[in-house]
Amino acid sequence: MATKKFLELQDFSKDDLVAELKATESQYQKLTFDHAITGLDNPLVLREVRRDIARLKTEVRRRELSEMNEEQLAGRSKIRRRRRNRK
């Protein structure tokens, strides 16, 4: 089941996603700095912000993959196969 935040991200344009990602990453850096210096009232906020960053990055990557043509996707599968064989 898709989360509410994930469904909201699908409505964003690509530029909005990138801007939101940068803003969220800077917010995370500020929160970690504040937590190291004075401590936060609720340190679980850090986890939520980290997860938001992961959601944003996932949506950006999903859109990149959907824009790839067949040749690029075929090259990508070769890379993935090569990585799998290295293990």
Domains of the chain plus CATH, in order, are 15-86 (1.10.287)
pLDDT tens string 39-85: 889 999 999 999 999 999 999 999 998 888 888 877 777 777 777 78
46 in Cβ contact with 31 (< 8 Å): yes
Statement: the pTM of the whole predicted model exceeds 0.85: no
27 in Cβ contact with 49 (< 8 Å): yes
CA pair distance 34, 9, nearest whole angstrom:
27
Other C-beta atoms closer than 10 Å to the C-beta of 58 total 12
